[in-house]
Amino acid sequence: MKKVVVTGMGVISPVGNSVDAFTGSIKAGRSGIGQITAFDTSGFDVTIAAEVKDFDAGRWIDGKAARKMARFTQFAASAAAQALGQAGLLHGDTARFAGNPERAGVVLGNGIGGFEVVTESFRKLFDAGPRRMLPLTVPLMIGNEAAGNIALLFGLKGPACTQVTACASGTDALGQALDLIRAGRCDIVVSGGTESCIVPFAIGGFQMLKALSAKYCGEPAKASRPFDSERDGFVMGEAAGILVLESEESAAARGAPPLAEFAGYGAACDAYHITAPDPSGEGGGRAMRLALADAGLAPEDVQYYNAHGTSTPLNDITETRMIKYAFGPHAYRMKVSSIKSMTGHCIAGSGGLEAIACVQAIREGFFPPTINLEHPDPECDLDYVPNAAQYGDVSAAASGSLGFGGHNGVVVFRKHALRN
> Which tens digits make up the pLDDT trace of 151-201?
999 999 999 999 999 999 999 999 999 999 999 999 999 999 999 999 999
Predicted pLDDT at 93: 67
Predicted pLDDT at 3: 97
Residue 375 is a catalytic residue: no
Mean pLDDT of the chain: 95
- Ranges of each domain in the chain: 1-404
Q: Report the share of the chain in percent with pLDDT over 70.
A: 99
pLDDT (average), residues 363-382: 98
Residue 346 is a catalytic residue: no
- Among the options 161, 167, 217, 358, which is catalytic? 167
- Among the options 186, 197, 308, 407, which is catalytic? 308
What fold characterizes domain 1-404?
Peroxisomal Thiolase; Chain A, domain 1 (3.40.47)
> Per residue, what are the HEC states of the chain?
CCCEEEEEEEEEECCECCHHHHHHHHHHCCCCCEECCCCCCCCCCCCEEECCCCCCHHHCCCHHHHCCCCHHHHHHHHHHHHHHHHCCCECCCCCCECCCHHHEEEEEECCCCCHHHHHHHHHHHHHHCHHHCCCCHHHHHCCCHHHHHHHHHHCCCCCEEEECECECHHHHHHHHHHHHHHCCCCCEEEEEEEECCCCHHHHHHHHHCCCECCCCCCCHHHCCCCCECCCCCECEECEEEEEEEEEHHHHHHHCCCCCEEEEEEEEEECCCCCCCCCCCCHHHHHHHHHHHHHHCCCHHHCCEEECCCCCCHHHHHHHHHHHHHHHHHHHHCCEEECCHHHHCECCHHHHHHHHHHHHHHHHHCEECCECCCCCECCCCCCECCECCCEECCCCEEEEEEEECCCEEEEEEEECCCCCC
Judged against a pLDDT cut of 90, whether residue 378 lies above it is answered with yes
Q: Report the share of the chain in percent with pLDDT over 90.
A: 88
Q: How large is the angle between the packed helices 115-128 and 200-208, nearest 10 degrees?
A: 100
Between the alpha carbon of residue 247 and those of residues 1, 360, 393, the distances in Å are 10, 20, 25
List pLDDT tens digits, range 297-322: 999 999 999 999 999 999 999 999 99
- Among the options 161, 186, 345, 358, which is catalytic? 345
Judged against a pLDDT cut of 60, whether residue 23 lies above it is answered with yes
